[in-house]
């Protein structure tokens, strides 16, 4: 299956389509604006029915002075002549785009080597797993310019790092380094260099890529949806997700190829089946 033509994102799918690598290198500091949002919207929609099991997002953007950039914020310059309604509609679009990416049926791994400010931090928390390098820096500066983090930073960050740390970052705009981000749970792992971080991300992606796309997608959907459920509802959702894998024939493929799978070999899984709820 071919991927959509993207304007701002450098897309590098693996030969079999099981891993999609996105490298960010656009604009002055990888700022996120309308063009980029449209690209992420199209890519996320495509992932729903693709063979991909893993998505890896990295950046090799640097400033003229050599400073590494992940995403240094939203593209506010495009809003200069917008009216209030246009601004509000655009931020709702940002929020919806990241919410859709959050539940895409792939294991999304982000490598942060450089500045992840504002929208950069919000993009990062919409991923499944976050790897940082010593160059990484994180901050939510929005309240200092009369707004607040509006693409998930206000509603979702506390679920990851807890209310006290989320309030600290959002209400002070304090910039933190990778070690502090690891300590409070904003990132999940540290790597010594950008190269090591990317190698680790691709190693994790390769593990996910060998698995059933139906099972990978159903596991993620079931886990995320269960976070807001009571225990009986969580268990019923788990049952539905498990039975989807059985009904789709993936369990039978796993049984018949058990020895090959235990040797680490790839097998031919069926097409992804969505978990209907």
Domain ranges for the chain: 9-208, 211-262
pLDDT at 262: 85
Which band of pLDDT confidence, cut at 50, 70 and 90, is reported for residue 276? confident
Q: Residues 179, 182, 183, 186: what is their CA dihedral angle, to the nearest 10 degrees?
A: 130
**pTM of the model as a whole:** 0.92
Residue-wise burial string across 65-86, b where 16 or more C-beta atoms lie within 10 A, e elsewhere? eeebbbbbbbbeeeeeeeeeee
pLDDT at 111: 98
27-57 residue pLDDT tens:
889 999 999 999 999 999 999 989 999 999 9
Report the percentage of the chain scoring pLDDT > 70. Answer: 99
User: Selecting from 3.30.1370.100, 3.30.930.10, 3.90.226.10, 3.30.70.20, what CATH number does the domain 9-208 have?
Assistant: 3.90.226.10
124-139: average pLDDT: 97
pLDDT at 4: 82
What CA–CA distance (Å, rounded) separates 192 from 190? 7
* Average pLDDT, rounded, for the chain: 94
Instruction: Please give the residue that has the higher pLDDT: either 76 or 220.
Output: 220
> Is the per-residue pLDDT at 100 higher than 90?
yes
201-216: average pLDDT: 97
Q: Nearest to residue 42, comparing CAs of 97, 107, 93?
A: 97
Which band of pLDDT confidence, cut at 50, 70 and 90, is reported for residue 1? low
> Is the per-residue pLDDT at 229 higher than 70?
yes
């Amino acid at each position: 299956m071919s991927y959509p033509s993207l304007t701002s994102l450098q897309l590098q799918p693996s030969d079999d389509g099981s891993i999609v690598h996105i490298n960010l290198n656009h604009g002055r500091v990888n700022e996120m604006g309308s063009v980029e949002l449209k690209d992420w919207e199209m890519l996320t929609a495509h992932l729903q029915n693709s063979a991909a099991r893993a998505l890896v997002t990295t950046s090799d953007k640097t400033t003229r002075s050599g400073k590494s950039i992940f995403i240094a914020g939203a593209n506010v310059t495009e809003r200069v002549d917008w009216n209030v309604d246009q601004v509000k509609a655009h931020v709702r679009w940002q929020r919806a785009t990241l919410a859709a990416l959050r539940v895409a049926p792939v294991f999304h791994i982000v490598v942060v080597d450089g500045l992840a400010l504002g929208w950069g931090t919000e993009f990062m928390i919409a991923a499944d797993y976050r790897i940082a390098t010593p160059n990484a820096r994180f901050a939510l500066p929005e309240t200092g310019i009369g707004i607040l983090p509006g693409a998930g930073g206000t509603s979702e960050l506390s679920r990851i790092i807890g209310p006290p740390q989320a309030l600290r970052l959002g209400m002070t705009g304090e910039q933190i380094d990778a070690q502090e981000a690891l300590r409070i749970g904003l990132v999940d792992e540290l790597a010594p260099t950008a190269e090591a971080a990317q190698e680790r991300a691709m190693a994790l992606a390769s593990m996910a890529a060998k698995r059933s796309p139906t099972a990978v997608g159903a596991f993620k959907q079931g886990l995320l949806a269960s976070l807001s459920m009571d225990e009986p509802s969580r268990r019923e959702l788990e049952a539905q997700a498990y039975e989807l894998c059985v009904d789709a024939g993936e369990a039978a493929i796993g049984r018949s190829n058990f020895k090959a799978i235990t040797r680490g070999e790839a097998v031919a899984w069926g097409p992804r089946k969505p978990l209907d709820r």
